[in-house]
Amino acid sequence: MDEAAPRVKVQHAALYRLAAGLSGVALTTLIGGAGVVAVYIPLRHAAYGFQWLLVFVLMIGESMAVHLPSEVILPVGGWLVVRDHHLGTTGIFALSAIAAAGNTVGSGLLYAAGRAGGRPLVRRYGRFLLIDEADIDAAKRRMRRHAVWALLLARVLPVVRTYAGFVAGLLRMPPGQFLAATFAGSFAWCLAFVAAGAALGAHWHAVRGPAEVAGVVVIAVLVVLLVAATVLQLRARRSHA
């Protein structure tokens, strides 16, 4: 009976982690739908000068895991700010830079939270999710050579990009590298959507379809990876038991 207890605890922790991951995916999807309305209406009815500020502020929220969809913020901004005011290529680059700066600020706040509070959270609650500080240290060693490229990639992936700052802080990525990679990756993401909005105008919503499909694919991959990681970790713990 005593020998079986640790195995039961490991199984429970694995199930908790799996449930937490699936719940997070479901919550993100539900909140994202409401975020479309919260983003579109203010941008549609704001004065021209205030629209620039709104794009900046909304993109801060988007990178702070508030789930304001950048797939709406950016093409609507490209339509209302760039296209309607005939700003051309210069306007596309300028608005993309403003949006990327907002992303960098928001992600920087999550980075600070992950750097300051991530490990204490792991020490306190990690056992419930089969995570400990040794796992963080191992991930940090694996990421040392490729951290910048990994963050650049994360910034152009739906869903993943929202939480990249916290993970980078948790892994204690150097601040300079974090800021440079975050801005560069965010700028590439913003440029694509702002340019699409400027080209499509009032038909900006055509961008949402492919973006949502990409988001669903990424979520599906994350769920599969989460399940696979849980199964592998359970097997590893059993083999060492």
**Looking at residues 54-72, what average pLDDT do you find?**
88
Cα 80 from Cα 101, distance rounded (Å): 19
**Looking at residues 62-85, what average pLDDT do you find?**
88
Query: 1 falls in which pLDDT band (50, 70, 90)?
Result: very low
Cα 23 from Cα 219, distance rounded (Å): 12
Q: End-to-end alpha-carbon separation of the chain, Å?
A: 14
In the predicted structure, residue 175 carries a pLDDT above the cut 80: yes
Rounded to 10°, the helix 70-77/88-125 angle is: 160
Mean pLDDT across the chain: 79
Could you tell me the pTM of the whole model?
0.76
The answer to whether the CB of 193 falls within 8 A of the CB of 71 is: yes
Type and span of the H or E element at 198: helix 175-200
Q: Which of 165, 211, 170, 215 is nearest to 190 (CA)?
A: 211
Placement of tokens 């051309």 in the chain: 88
Count Cβ atoms within 10 A of the Cβ of residue 206 and give its class: 0-12 exposed, 13-18 middle, 19 or more buried: exposed
